[in-house]
Amino acid sequence: MTEHQLGQLHLSAWRAFITTHATLIDLINRELTEADCIPLHWYDVLIELFEAPERRLRLHELARKVVLSRSGLTRLVDRLETAGLLQRQPDPTDRRGSFAAITEEGVAALRKAWLVYAQGISRHFACHLSEDEAHLIVKLFNGILSTVNETYWNQH
């Protein structure tokens, strides 16, 4: 299928994907807020730092992992730093660069949010999928990402 051959079925699949994604993200974000947890976009940044070697990443690496613009990430890192959930650390090998590192408070916030987030994933998403369907979704989206990521990051 070329770019110019968008059929109704594929368009319907796209619409179902983006509508479901937006709805679930909003729903889980509301549940996090109601439980007095960090917002989901904060969680996304903190989990990347938590899982990184030494629990830190260079800011440009973090921006790529969470798919934020450099300015968007800078503002978010500022808010997370003000909240005490991460800290900036100078890069000893590059005076212009710096790392974002998760703090112990950030780890605690991440753990608290995970309890609510995991329940939301289970209740609103996972319970609707069989094991085979979950495997298929992983295969499909990983295939799309492997193709799209190279093009996307070459342009940005």
The domain limits of the chain are: 25-113, 125-156
Give the residue carrying structure tokens 């629990």.
Answer: 55
Q: Which CATH number fits domain 25-113: 3.40.50.2300, 1.10.10.10, 3.40.50.20, 1.20.140.10?
A: 1.10.10.10
For the chain, give the mean pLDDT.
Answer: 91
Dist. CA 14–CA 8, nearest whole Å: 10
The amino acid that residue 78 corresponds to is: D
The amino acid that residue 106 corresponds to is: G
**6-64 pLDDT tens trace:** 899 999 999 999 999 999 999 999 999 999 999 999 999 999 999 999 999 998 889 88
Q: Which pair of tokens denotes residue 109?
A: 């916030």
- Short-list 80, 39, 84, CA closest to 59: 80
Asked if the model's pLDDT at residue 1 lies above 60, the reply is no
> How confident is the model over 108-112, as a mean pLDDT?
98
Instruction: Quickly count: other Cβ atoms within 10 Å of residue 39's Cβ.
Output: 13
Question: What Cα–Cα distance (Å) separates residue 130 from each residue in 100, 103, 121, 137?
Answer: 38, 37, 14, 11
- Short-list 113, 92, 97, 91, CA closest to 46: 113
Asked if the model's pLDDT at residue 123 lies above 60, the reply is yes
Asked if the model's pLDDT at residue 140 lies above 90, the reply is yes
Q: What is the CA radius of gyration of the chain?
A: 18
Q: What percent of the chain has pLDDT over 70?
A: 92
Q: Using a cut of 0.75, tell me whether the model's pTM lies above it.
A: yes
Residue 6: φ, ψ to 5° = -85, 110
